[in-house]
Amino acid sequence: MAIRFPIFMDAQSTTPCDPRVVEAMLPYFTEKFGHPASRNHPFGWEAEAACDEARAKIARLIGARDPKEIIFTSGGTESINLAIKGVAEMYREKGTHIVTTAIEQRAGIDTCKRLERQGFQVTYVPVQPNGLVDVEDIRRAITDRTILISVMFANNEIGTIQDIAAIGRLAKERGIIFHTDATQAVGKIPVDVEAMGIDLLSCTAHLIYGPKGVGALYVRRKGPRVRLAPLIDGGGHERGMRSGTLPVPLCVGFGRAAEICREVMAEESARLRALRDRLQDTILSNVEETYLNGDPERRLPHNLNVSFAYVEGESILMGLNREVALSSGSACTSATLEPSYVIAALGASSELAHSSIRFSLHRFNTEEEVDFVARRTIEVVRRLREMSPLYELAKEGVDLKSIQWKAE
C-alpha cells in the first residue's frame, strides 16, 4: 500500500473529519437550513429535532441520563471556561476555593489564573513522576471554602488517565462540584458521568473525527443539580447557559461522530494500542537514552510521548516535518519555545522537557505509516546526535552536570 505524505500523527491536536460525519452534515447546509429556535414552522422544528438527536447521541456516549444535560458550545476551550467560571460566579457566596492539577491543559490553567486575579484561591495539586495525581493529595487540598474540583480526564500531552471515579467519589463525599476536562478521553476510552460521579464534563467534536467549531458541556440536572452563570447572554438558548444560534450542521456532525465512536471504540482502541506499541517498541529498542513520559499502562491507547536525551525536540520536528506531522507538546502551546510544563511537572529536567515528542495516532493510520515514522525518527535522532558535542561528551563518560561553562 502506497504511503501518502505527509503522514499525520498529531491526533491529539485534531483529527480528520470522518467521511460519514461529513455526509450526515451536508443536508443541513442547504436543504435543512432552519433555525432551531424558530418554533413556529417546519424548518425550525426540523433543525431543533436534529440538534436534539445529536444531544442524545453525545449523552449516550458519556453515560448521561438526559440529553438536555448536553449544552452545545463552540469547542472544548469554551466548555472548560463555562464550567469553571460558571461555577465560580454562581457559587461565590458559598466559597472561593478551587482545586485542580498542575498538568491541566491551558484552557483550564489560564481560566484558573484569571479567577485568581479576581480574588479566588486555586490549589494546583502536583502529580507523581508517572503523571498520575494522588487522590489523597486532592483530599488534603480541600478546605471548607472549596466549591469546585477540576481534573483533566486524560492528559493532552502524555495521555495519562486519572482515577476519575475515585475523585468523583471524593467530591460527592465532601459535597463539592466535580468538573473534568474530557476532551482527550471522550470517544477514545469508556466515560460514564453517572458511574464516575462527574457533575460537569467538557468535550469537543474535532478530537473524535467530527467538525471543528463545536463542543459540548455536560451539566448534571439532578443529584445534585448544578447551576452555572452564563458566559454569553442573549436569547436564553441552551437552558440559559449559552445563548447564540446553534450551528446545526456542526451539532449534527458532532452527534454522528459520537455515534460512530460508541460503535467502534473497543475495536479501534485495541488496533491503535497495537500500532502505538509497535511504534514505541521500535523506537525505544533502537535509540538509547530515550524515555517514555507518563504512565506505561494508564494512558490513552493512541498516545506516545518520548524524550530523546541530547536532542532538541524542535530539531527532530524540523527533520521530519516534510514527511510527518508531529508535536513537541500541546497545540495550545506550540507557538512558544518554552519546554513543556507537563513534562517538567513529572520531575524531568529542562533538557529532557525540551526533547519530548508526542506521537498521537488516529483512526486512519496504517501499519506501513507507523513503520515509516519509526524508521525516520530513528534516523533523524541518530543524525542529530552525531552533530551534538554534548552527546559525544556523554558517550565519553563525562558528567555534563559537572562542567562549568565559561562565558565569553
pLDDT per residue over 237-282, tens digit each? 888 899 999 999 999 999 999 999 999 999 999 999 999 999 999 9
Average pLDDT, the chain: 94
In which region does residue 280 sit, left (phi positive, over 0), alpha (psi from -120 to 50) or beta (all else)?
alpha
State the pLDDT at residue 398: 72
Residue whose C-alpha is closest to residue 231's, from 98, 111, 69, 105 = 111
- CATH code of domain 8-12+265-396: 3.90.1150.10
Residue whose C-alpha is closest to residue 244's, from 59, 37, 84 = 37
Q: Mark whether 332 is an active-site residue.
A: yes
How many CB atoms sit inside 10 A of residue 408's CB? 2
Of 17, 112, 203, 332, which one is the catalytic site residue?
A: 332
Instruction: Give just the sign of the alpha carbon dihedral 203, 204, 209, 214.
Output: positive
Which three cell numbers, joined as nine digits, stand for 151?
481534573
pLDDT per residue over 204-220, tens digit each? 999 999 999 999 999 99
DSSP 3: P
Give the pairing type, strands 356-360 and 177-181: unpaired
Sketch the domain layout of the chain as residue ranges: 8-12+265-396, 19-260
Residue whose C-alpha is closest to residue 68's, from 87, 51, 55 = 55
pLDDT per residue over 32-84, tens digit each? 999 999 999 999 999 999 999 999 999 999 999 999 999 999 999 999 999 99
State the pLDDT at residue 406: 56
State the pLDDT at residue 331: 46
Q: What is the pTM of this model?
A: 0.95
State the pLDDT at residue 333: 46
- Do 114 and 341 meet the contact criterion of CB atoms below 8 Å apart? no
- Do 233 and 242 meet the contact criterion of CB atoms below 8 Å apart? no
Q: In whole angstroms, what is the distance from residue 288 CA to residue 16 CA?
A: 33
Domain 19-260 in CATH 1.20.950.20? The answer is no
